[in-house]
Each structure stands twice: as C-alpha cells, then as structure tokens.
Amino acid sequence: MAVNVEHAKTVAGWFADSELETLATLAQGRNVIVEIGSWEGRSACAMAANSNATIFCVDAWIEHPQGGFEATLETFAKFRDNTRRYPKVIPIVGESVRVADAMHRVGIFKADMVFIDASHDFDSVSADIRSWWTLINWGGVLCGHDYGDPNWPGVKQAVDMRFGGQVEVSDSIWMVKK
C-alpha cells in the first residue's frame, strides 16, 4: 500500500525518507499507537498521515539541543503546530517509564504499535522495552529508531539483548512482532 510522508518531510528531525516510509507502512491498519520520544513530530506526522489510529506521543519535552526552558516550550509548540492537522495525535508530557506504569495501573490500555525513539542509551532503551512490551496487543509490534547507528550503540545492544534473532530491521528501524 502506498504511503504519504510529504508533510512529515517538512518537519525537523532525524529520519531518512525511506525510514519515514517504513514507519508509515507499519502504522497502517493500527488502532492505537504509542510513540516514545516525539520532539517536533516528524515521525508522528508520518504515522498519522497513513493511519486512522489514535497516536499517543509520549515525551518529557524537557531537553532540547539548544537547552533552556524557553527552547523546550518552543519545541513543544512546534510539535503541536506540526501535528495540528491530525486530531488523533495526542501528546502526553511525561517520562515514558512513568507513563507506562500509569497505563499498567489503569489496566484498560493496550496498543497495536509502540515506537521507541527517546533516550538512546542502553539503560533507557532497555527500560522502555520492559515498560511497554506488556502494553502491546498480541499481533502488535514494538519498534524503534537508530538500530545499528554507531552514534547510539545502546539501542542495538538493548534490542538484541531482549529479542535476539526475533528482530527485523529496515534501514535503522527495528521491529519485533508480539
């Protein structure tokens, strides 16, 4: 099925066009998607343009490459502006592990897809995988960005340690079906 990532390409971020297309394809046919790490919304826009899913975008929005509180507010405002055409994109401001814990406690939440692209160190990626895996429906997918990127070795290490040979990779997008 063809995908549309034209708007997503206009949003700042670190995705190659082919990665946006992979993510858009993964989003098709899903009902509930959770994105961990959203920054200005590039990947959220790619998913939203190609899916009728409700997309919960979880990000602390507390750190910015330029630093400072004003830059953080500016980044969140850009996210909201970039995603405004997609009413089913819902930002959740918070740390991903805490948000997952709250979802566990509520006990009514399951996602068809969880996309991890937040902190890229081994411990953070491992914690995100542990926290969100049980919140994915059977047949759903856990996936993420920057697998094999030499700048972020912790991503590949955490994914391989948890899933080993179950991992499929397209560009730097990793995915595991539940």
Q: Which two tokens stand for residue 46?
A: 């790619």
What b/e readout covers 87-102, taking b as 16+ CB neighbours within 10 angstroms? eebebbeebbbebbee
Give the mean pLDDT of 107-136.
95
What proportion of the chain, given as a percentage, has pLDDT over 90? Answer: 85
Do 127 and 95 contact (CB within 8 A), yes or no?
Answer: no
pTM, two decimals, is: 0.93
Domains and CATH numbers, the chain: 6-177 (3.40.50.150)
Do 44 and 86 contact (CB within 8 A), yes or no?
Answer: yes
Q: What spatial distance separates the first Cα and last Cα of the chain, rounded to whole Å?
A: 22
Instruction: Specify the amino acid at residue 63.
Output: E
Give the mean pLDDT of 22-46.
97
